[in-house]
Structure formats: C-alpha cells, structure tokens
C-alpha cells in the first residue's frame, strides 16, 4: 500500500522514508543517508568528451541532413580509402549472408557519416585492443555494427535506435 506524502508531516514523512530505505538497503543506509546516491568514482573513458579540435559540426562537403533517412547517400563524399574499406566490408557481408538483402553503399555511407558525427560528441581515447582512436575508426566500427544488425545479429538496443531507420 502506498501512502501519499500529503498524509504525513514533513518530519514523519522523512522518518517513514528512512525506515523504508533501511528495509530495502539494510542498516548501512542510515550511515550514508545524507550522501547523494550517484555512481561512485571518476567518469569512465566512455564518458570522456571529444577534444575541442574534434568537436566538428557539419562541413562544406557534406551538408547537415545528408545522413538522414530520406537523403541520397550516394552524394556523401568520403575518402577513396575509406570508401574502399566500406566496399570490402559490404563484399564480405554479402558472402556471409547471400540470401539477405544487402544494404546499399549509399546506406553504409550514411551510417559512416553518422558515426563520424557521433565521434564529435561521444569519444573514447582508445578502441578495442588499446589502439588509438580516430574519427574513421569510430565510423567504420559503426558500419560494422550496422552490418551485423542487418545480418540479423544481436546488437544493443542503442545501436538499433541509432541506425535502425536505415534498415
């Protein structure tokens, strides 16, 4: 049964709340009742903001919205080496999943652009294996995750929300 706060005096409400927390969390709660319930310790590397030089908003080559769902992905300009890497990933995916409809190169360019943009806001100093991170590595990892999702593999819900509209 839940009783509304209005049914208590402020002091009685606090006492009832403390008793409820004691029952939930044990007697140690009483010792730490005034401490804020927050994640202990310093921020993780995943919460590190990108360096100021990497906080890029838009560009002349790729206008805002070029990675949106209804835009033409073929108009996205990326480097030749990067485009070749994406084509190789797509070729490997088609060999692994011959019976599935493959995403287009334009769609993968959109995912790449979104990944490059995400690098500006959420950043990790290193990627798997401790290798230094870069905007291209971050964006190519997002392409790989998208291809895994397109192949029916399990991915986190956050990835589905980020690029699921392109499937």
Q: Are 70 and 102 within one domain? A: yes
Q: Are 19 and 73 within one domain? A: no
Closest by CA to 80, choosing from 69, 72, 88, is 88
DSSP 8-state assignment for residue 162? H
How many other β-carbons are positioned within 10 Å of the β-carbon of residue 144? 16
State residue 39's pLDDT score.
57
How many angstroms separate the CA atoms of 89 and 143, rounded?
8
Residues of the chain with pLDDT under 70: 1-3, 5, 26-51, 53-76, 123-132
State residue 165's pLDDT score.
81
Q: Are 121 and 153 within one domain? A: yes
Q: Are 23 and 69 within one domain? A: no
How many angstroms separate the CA atoms of 88 and 92, rounded?
6
How many other β-carbons are positioned within 10 Å of the β-carbon of residue 45? 11
Side-chain half-sphere CA neighbours of 159 within 13 A:
17
Q: Are 31 and 62 within one domain? A: no
Q: Are 11 and 66 within one domain? A: no
Task: Compute the mean pLDDT over every residue in the chain, rounded to the nearest whole number.
Answer: 75
State residue 87's pLDDT score.
92
State residue 90's pLDDT score.
92
State how many domains the chain has.
2
State residue 89's pLDDT score.
92
Q: pLDDT, tens digit, for every residue of 86-132?
A: 999 999 999 998 888 888 888 898 888 888 877 777 766 666 655 66
Q: Are 32 and 92 within one domain? A: no
Q: Are 70 and 109 within one domain? A: yes
% of the chain exceeding 70 in pLDDT:
60
Range of the domain at 64: 45-166
Q: Are 66 and 89 within one domain? A: yes
Does an H or E element contain 126, and which? strand 126-127
């Amino acid at each position: 049964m839940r009783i509304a706060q209005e049914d208590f005096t402020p002091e009685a409400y606090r006492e009832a709340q403390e008793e409820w927390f004691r029952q939930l969390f044990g007697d140690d709660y009483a010792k730490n009742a005034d401490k804020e319930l927050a994640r202990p310790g310093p921020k993780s590397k995943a919460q590190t903001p990108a360096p100021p030089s990497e906080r890029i908003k838009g560009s002349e080559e790729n206008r805002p919205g070029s990675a949106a769902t209804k835009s033409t992905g073929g108009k996205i300009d990326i480097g030749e080496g990067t485009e070749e890497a994406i084509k190789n990933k797509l070729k490997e995916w088609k060999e692994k999943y011959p019976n599935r409809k493959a995403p287009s190169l334009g769609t993968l360019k959109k995912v790449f652009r979104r990944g490059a943009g995400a690098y500006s806001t959420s950043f990790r100093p290193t990627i798997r294996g401790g290798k230094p991170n870069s905007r291209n590595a971050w964006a190519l990892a997002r392409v790989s995750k998208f291809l895994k999702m397109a192949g029916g593999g399990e991915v986190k819900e956050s990835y589905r929300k980020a690029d699921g509209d392109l499937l």
